[in-house]
Structure 1
């Protein structure tokens, strides 16, 4: 092709057709420019496809993380709701003159005495931010909602850290010091395989009465009841934030899935 254009130029020059040569030269330049523009456009299109593939990969992973967190917030809401119910049951018991009613509140005990740490899946989001790839997200609404969700997470994590240190860890320490759970083994059928001795009904009733005495002492402890009061005070806000996080996550999942569908 290059030789073809060269022969045309040489022929026009030898025939002294300078005006035609000039027009031809301009035309050739235009063709070269058009070729360059087409090449640039193709290259840009290729780069855009590569960028979109990378963005899509992140979006798919974000959905997976968000789906996991959606389940987390639903679970945490239920846990905190049960903790609040337990605290309220203990507060009501403390004002009850019939102390034998303790049998009615013991089933709530697990809800305040056990807790798991809070682990939010932010692997993909943090990877995008740390690698400088957050701007790969082309949908501004998705970026904005991801940033808002991060703020919600930080608020929840800060509150959880305070609750864990000032309430739950203190509560665990009080319970360990006040209640001898070894007494529960003879009266709990699930522990039968651990014990070599078969306890009589009278012995089971004795251990049951002993552990009930310890629970009564526990519920008379001002620090224990202060923690129940604080749980009662703090839980509504925790529940509100967990529900807010779940709603934000659900909205983000739907938004990202809609964005991914535009590729189909």
Structure 2
């Protein structure tokens, strides 16, 4: 200071500060790079899991489609025979009239938490829409359709004594595992002759109308879900190419 070296000391101090700041910035940059790399790895894992679960879900939705077509054909045959007096050569297994579906979607509310790990806005929006469509589909089934089948149709068939109790208890396998319907060859659980006679009554036809409307509504929701499932898988597949 006595030799007027103040300027040199200030320059030295400022230089030291700049070096410290640069060091901190480099450290922060490296830390951010590591965090981004970790987030990318996590995002890739999440997207792969979602893609695989979407593929599995699509199989189940195709099964719903197939079940609906069989049930709708049975409804149409019963309508033709009951109200149009048309001769029906053969009808599907009558037990399909009381068919219930088994729901086990892998894409559900748990995936909402993983939205924060996905950066692609289109995938986020598509996933939110997809989950909403699944909820709509399930609501139609559980709130509107299932009560008609379980609370009205099934008890009504029992009251009319349509069930072949002996055929049921003589089956080697009396369980319906998962969502796979086991065809019961030669063992009709519902008496076909009584069933066709019941189809001629106004009460049954009114019930058939209401149930078919709800099945059709459900099927419309299934088609929407299948379309969104397909589009979402394509979005994710394209995004995964960037990793």
Contact 1:174 1:224 in 2 (8 A): no
Matched, 1:68 2:56: yes
Shift of 1:241: 1.5
Q: Report Cα offsets for 1:117-148 as digits up to 9, x if no partner.
A: 333223xx53343xx55322211111111111
Aligned to 2:154: 172
**3-state SS of the aligned residue for 2:105?**
coil
Shift in CA distance, 227/105, structure 1 to aligned 2, threshold 3 Å:
farther
Aligned to 1:138: 119
Aligned to 1:126: 109
Matched, 1:91 2:87: no
Match of 1:116 among 82, 98, 101: 101
Unaligned runs of 5+ in 2: 173-187
Higher share of residues assigned helix: 1
Aligned to 1:253: 233
Match of 1:232 among 212, 215, 227: 212
Equivalent-residue separation in structure 2 for 1:77 and 1:84 (angstroms): 10
**3-state SS of the aligned residue for 2:65?**
helix
What's the Cα RMSD here?
Answer: 2.8
Match of 2:44 among 35, 45, 56: 56
Aligned to 2:136: 155
Match of 1:222 among 192, 199, 202: 202
Q: Report Cα offsets for 1:203-241 as digits up to 9, x if no partner.
A: xxxxx9xx4542244223433322321243333332222
Equivalent-residue separation in structure 1 for 2:24 and 2:2 (angstroms): 30
Match of 1:244 among 198, 215, 224: 224
Shift in CA distance, 127/180, structure 1 to aligned 2, threshold 3 Å:
closer
Shift in CA distance, 213/142, structure 1 to aligned 2, threshold 3 Å:
closer
Contact 2:83 2:200 in 1 (8 A): no
Equivalent-residue separation in structure 2 for 1:63 and 1:119 (angstroms): 16
Q: Report Cα offsets for 1:92-140 as digits up to 9, x if no partner.
A: 0013446xx46x2433524323222333223xx53343xx553222111
